[in-house]
Amino acid sequence: MTPTVRKAVLTVHVASSVGWLGAVVAYLALAVAAVTTQEAQTVRAAWIAMELTGWSVIVPLAIASLLTGVANALGTPWGLFRHYWVLVKLLLTVFATAILLQHMPAVSSVAAIVTASEHANLLPAGLRSDLLHAGGGLAVLLATTVLAVYKPPGTTRYGWRKMHEGPGAVGAVNAAGFGHQH
């Protein structure tokens, strides 16, 4: 990957990841409002906004973050399976995206129920787990952010082998500006 393309992919990755994080914070605020208020209009509006935000903002940003993260890892010396922090970040992102995609149909169902009901504040207690989903999602996204910033040392066995294959392997990695970390 050329430096220009790498920077473009990294820019899209950072923007989509930061956008995903911000959208989850907004979603969490809506979930708190939906769960804590006794006003049917506020509950109805919050769930409608949560559905719209989820499908129109959070899901696309999650998918963009995942795809650009994979592209960035594959197109740089960091690689996808060479460093533990990249691998953990990938697994957390896949997990968060899968949970999000599994959870959003339930959000749509609740939004439909509260839109049709005069008593939107009488939701079953089980539907209040949205706070847990949003809070857990936020925690996972903060963890991936910490991993991306701090890049804890440690190469996988595969990464160690790749860095030591051939006479120029380590020099090529260091020349690209990605120091060898154990």
Partners of 155 in the beta sheet?
Answer: 83
pTM for this structure?
0.85
pLDDT in tens, 117-152: 776 556 654 466 888 999 999 999 999 999 999 999
104 falls within a domain: yes
Boundaries of domain holding 89? 3-175
47 falls within a domain: yes
pLDDT class of 11 with cuts at 50, 70, 90: very high
Mean pLDDT of the chain: 87
- Domain count for the chain, please give it: 1
pLDDT class of 168 with cuts at 50, 70, 90: low
Q: Is 177 left (phi over 0), alpha (psi -120 to 50) or beta?
A: left
Alpha-carbon Rg for the chain, nearest whole angstrom, is 20
Q: What is the pLDDT of residue 175?
A: 43
Nearest Cα to Cα of residue 17 among 65, 63, 56:
65
Nearest Cα to Cα of residue 71 among 1, 154, 146, 16:
1
182 falls within a domain: no
Residue 166 reports pLDDT greater than 80: no
181 falls within a domain: no
Three-class secondary structure assignment of the chain? CCHHHHHHHHHHHHHHHHHHHHHHHHHHHHHHHHHHCCCHHHHHHHHHHHHHHHHHHHHHHHHHHHHHHHHHHHCCCCCCCCEHHHHHHHHHHHHHHHHHHHHHHHHHHHHHHHHHCCCCCCCCHHHHHHHHHHHHHHHHHHHHHHHHHHCCCCECHHHHHHHHCCCCHHHHHHHCCCCCCC
Contact (Cβ atoms closer than 8 angstroms) between residue 123 and residue 110: yes
56 falls within a domain: yes
CB neighbour list of residue 58: distance below 8 Å, 6 or more residues apart: 20, 23, 24, 27, 100
pLDDT in tens, 45-94: 999 999 999 999 999 999 999 999 999 999 988 899 999 999 999 999 99
Q: What is the pLDDT of residue 117?
A: 78
